[in-house]
């Protein structure tokens, strides 16, 4: 089983994630640090074999997701993930236990996780996306939803063997606005967008997440082009949403009649 890990870091050396990788029962054959600054580079790390560093100066005129896409595409074309069975996309602030890679590989998913830690079947990914990472504001969300629409086996936003984020990503008003716009472009139904935004308000204890709804309306009024897989995603979410509502209604009826 051949594995390559791409570790994204801005300026800090990714010591903690490298420590997690070095303790794995199934270790990556190669680690590539994709850095915005030379300061993040590490030449060697105990317990790991080959480590390379690719410095890609960020274009701050792009969104964060687009900058990730540019940097990872350069890394993919230089280090060829298609030569491996799986690749990891990792941020520098995620940690995990020693069986994280082994257990998740054995689970049989083609794509799993979230932006800070994603494990991907390289061959199946390349058949859908080619030798690049999407240069898209949605970043990992775009990969997840297009993978679902392409009938890959996807575990959304989670892992079988868990990883732990050391800090939750900050959501600036601009990023929340972009989130709303891409939810429209994904084809997500408006009621789902409202409910998911309200859920974030409760969980994050911040009304700033309502900006997502504004972003969705902005895209609707501007008639933003939807992604080519949006109809499939819309139908999947609508079907699941309807099933959940039906289940809740049935439970209410049963509680009333009992």
For the chain, residues classed under CATH 3.90.550.10 are: 3-165
- Confidence label for 239 from pLDDT (cuts 50, 70 and 90): confident
Q: Are strands 86-91 and 117-121 parallel, antiparallel or unpaired?
A: antiparallel
Report the mean per-residue pLDDT for the chain.
93
The model's pLDDT over 73-114, given as tens digits with 9 standing for 90+, comes to: 999 999 999 999 999 999 999 999 999 999 999 999 999 998
pLDDT band at 256 (very low <50, low <70, confident <90, very high): low
Out of 3-17, 171-185, 195-209, 236-250, which region has the weakest mean confidence (pLDDT)? Answer: 236-250
pLDDT at 217 over 70: yes
State whether residue 44 is helix, strand or coil: coil
Percent of the chain topping pLDDT 90: 79
By CB atoms closer than 10 A (0-12, 13-18, 19+), residue 41 is middle
Burial class (CB in 10 A: 0-12, 13-18, 19+), 29: middle
Distances (CA, A) of 108 to 84, 88, 89, 96, 234: 16, 15, 17, 19, 26
CB-side neighbour CA atoms (13 Å) of 174: 6
Q: Is 131 helix (H, G, I), strand (E, B) or coil?
A: coil
Between 247 and 98, where is the model more confident? 98
Q: What is the mean pLDDT of residues 183-190?
A: 95
* The predicted structure's pLDDT at residue 115: 80
Three-state SS at 191: helix
Distance CA 26, CA 135 (A): 30
For 3-165, CATH number?
Answer: 3.90.550.10
Contact yes or no for 41/120 (Cβ under 8 A): no
With CA atoms as reference, report the closest residue to 86 among 172, 173, 23, 26.
26
Other C-beta atoms closer than 10 Å to the C-beta of 13 total 15
The pLDDT value given to residue 255: 66
SS3 211: helix
């Amino acid at each position: 089983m051949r594995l390559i890990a791409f570790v994204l870091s801005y300026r800090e050396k990714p010591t903690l994630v490298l420590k997690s990788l070095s303790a794995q029962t199934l270790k990556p054959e190669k680690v590539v640090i994709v850095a915005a600054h030379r300061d993040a580079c590490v030449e060697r790390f105990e317990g790991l074999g080959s480590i390379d560093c690719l410095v890609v100066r960020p274009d701050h005129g792009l969104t964060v997701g687009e900058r990730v896409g540019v940097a990872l595409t350069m890394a993919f074309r230089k280090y060829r993930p298609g030569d491996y069975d799986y690749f990891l996309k990792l941020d520098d602030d995620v940690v995990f236990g020693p069986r994280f890679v082994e257990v998740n590989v054995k689970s049989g998913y083609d794509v799993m996780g979230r932006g800070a830690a994603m494990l991907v079947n390289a061959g199946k990914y390349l058949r859908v996306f080619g030798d690049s990472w999407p240069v898209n504001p949605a970043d990992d969300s775009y990969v997840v939803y297009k993978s679902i629409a392409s009938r890959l086996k996807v575990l959304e936003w989670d892992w079988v063997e868990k990883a732990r984020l050391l800090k939750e990503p900050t959501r600036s008003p601009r990023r929340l606005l972009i989130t709303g716009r891409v939810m429209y472009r994904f084809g997500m139904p408006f009621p789902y967008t409202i409910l998911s935004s309200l859920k974030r308000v409760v969980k994050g204890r911040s009304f700033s997440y309502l900006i997502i709804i504004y972003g969705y309306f902005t895209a609707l009024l501007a008639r933003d082009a939807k992604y080519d897989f949006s109809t499939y995603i819309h139908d999947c979410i609508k079907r699941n949403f309807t099933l959940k509502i039906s289940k809740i209604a049935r439970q209410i009826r049963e509680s009333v009649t009992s």
